[in-house]
């Protein structure tokens, strides 16, 4: 493992803290793939999975609070940041979970709580159901439902629209167009810039693969273990409150709102999200 030093600079208000408070580590896996993750703190492990337009750095302010009492680990998903993409052209949730398994094995993470945000929620459920290193508990934040259960023509339309947007403006164009929509109208310019910085670090291949995960994944797939809680930003327009509430009901999971937050709740309300995770870790809910 080694620390990476080649990242582009984030917004100035976060640049002074990012690498010191939540440093990046590059991990070589047994199959030769390279994965990037950020780690901080000691204690019970919490693993954080970001969404389709984000990255490990987006969890900085949450990690600063959690790392006082926990070992916090956030990956850059395959094809994100300095993580190598997956081999499959159109990978599914099982491919992402297998890569997560390999990363956790290299980092010697066993007993842990798993938090999945947005598209990361689909990977979290897959990991809980079939991963070799299954989490103790699962918390979903603003979970993306995926389109795996949708009609084929619906999946095809979503895939085509997303891939066309990538072809038209690249990842930088997606960052410019979508960053403000990830937050509530009350978000600060710095928060919008932070969302955009994380998006710009995605490779085009990694983003295209994540589109396949989105189109093929199904958050509510049967025969997966219990999800222990679902929370969503009260101003989320990407995975709206009623959609997330319905997902929680289908998963038989407690549901809660994150006040004054849009979709990127961990960026807009990091103290509140960290508090939710801390309470979730301390709760005596039965393990998977």
CA distance 59 to 191: 12
Domain CATH code at residue 83: 3.40.50.1820
Task: Give the model confidence (pLDDT) of 195-204 as tens digits.
Answer: 999 999 999 9
Q: How many domains does the chain have?
A: 1
- pLDDT the model gives residue 130: 83
Assigned token pair, 3:
């620390």
CA distance 30 to 262: 38
Confidence of residue 227 (pLDDT cuts 50, 70, 90): confident
More confident site: 12 or 75 = 75
CA distance 163 to 139: 29
Whether residue 288 lies inside any domain: the answer is: no
Tokens 């900085």 -> residue: 60
Burial pattern 209-222, b for ≥16 Cβ within 10 A else e, equals bbbbbbbbbbbbee
- pLDDT the model gives residue 286: 55
Judged against a pLDDT cut of 50, whether residue 1 lies above it is answered with no
Assigned token pair, 202:
């995605």
Confidence of residue 129 (pLDDT cuts 50, 70, 90): confident
Whether residue 48 lies inside any domain: the answer is: yes
CA distance 91 to 85: 10
Range of the domain at 245: 2-282
Q: Specify whether the CB–CB gap between 78 and 104 falls below 8 A.
A: no
Task: Give the model confidence (pLDDT) of 20-41 as tens digits.
Answer: 999 999 999 999 999 999 999 9
Of the given ranges (53-57, 131-135, 155-159, 250-254), which has the lowest mean pLDDT? Answer: 131-135
Confidence of residue 7 (pLDDT cuts 50, 70, 90): very low
- pLDDT the model gives residue 233: 98
Task: Give the model confidence (pLDDT) of 163-180 as tens digits.
Answer: 999 999 999 999 999 999
Confidence of residue 268 (pLDDT cuts 50, 70, 90): very high
Whether residue 215 lies inside any domain: the answer is: yes
- pLDDT the model gives residue 10: 62
- pLDDT the model gives residue 5: 36
Candidates 30, 2, 23; CA nearest to 98 is 30
More confident site: 8 or 197 = 197
Whether residue 183 lies inside any domain: the answer is: yes
Percent of the chain with pLDDT over 90: 86
CA distance 160 to 153: 10
- pLDDT the model gives residue 223: 61
Judged against a pLDDT cut of 50, whether residue 121 lies above it is answered with yes
Whether residue 287 lies inside any domain: the answer is: no
Judged against a pLDDT cut of 80, whether residue 225 lies above it is answered with no
Whether residue 126 lies inside any domain: the answer is: yes
């Amino acid at each position: 493992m080694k620390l990476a030093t080649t990242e582009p600079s984030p917004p100035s208000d976060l640049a002074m803290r990012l690498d010191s408070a939540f440093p990046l580590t590059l991990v070589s896996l047994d199959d030769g793939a390279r994965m990037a993750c950020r780690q901080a703190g000691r204690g019970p492990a919490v693993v954080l999975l970001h969404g389709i337009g984000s990255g490990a750095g987006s969890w900085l302010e949450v990690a600063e609070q959690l790392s006082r009492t926990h070992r916090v680990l956030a990956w850059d998903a395959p094809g994100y940041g300095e993580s190598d993409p997956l081999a499959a052209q159109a990978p599914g949730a099982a491919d992402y979970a297998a890569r997560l398994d390999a990363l956790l094995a290299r980092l010697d993470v066993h007993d842990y709580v798993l938090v999945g945000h947005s598209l990361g929620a689909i990977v979290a459920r897959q990991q809980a159901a079939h991963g070799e290193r299954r989490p103790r508990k699962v918390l979903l934040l603003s979970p993306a439902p995926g389109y795996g259960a949708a009609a084929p023509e619906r999946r095809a339309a979503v895939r085509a629209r997303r891939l066309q947007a990538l072809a038209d403006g690249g990842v930088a164009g997606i960052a410019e167009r979508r960053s403000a929509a990830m937050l509530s109208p009350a978000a600060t310019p710095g928060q919008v810039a932070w969302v955009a910085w994380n998006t710009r670090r995605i490779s085009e291949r990694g983003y295209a693969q994540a589109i396949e995960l989105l189109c093929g994944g199904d958050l509510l797939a049967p025969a997966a273990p219990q999800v222990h809680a679902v929370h969503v930003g009260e101003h989320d327009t990407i995975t709206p409150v009623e959609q997330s509430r319905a997902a929680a009901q289908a998963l038989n999971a407690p549901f809660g709102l994150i006040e004054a937050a849009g979709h990127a709740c961990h960026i807009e309300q990091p103290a509140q999200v960290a508090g939710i995770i801390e309470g979730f870790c301390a709760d005596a809910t039965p393990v998977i």
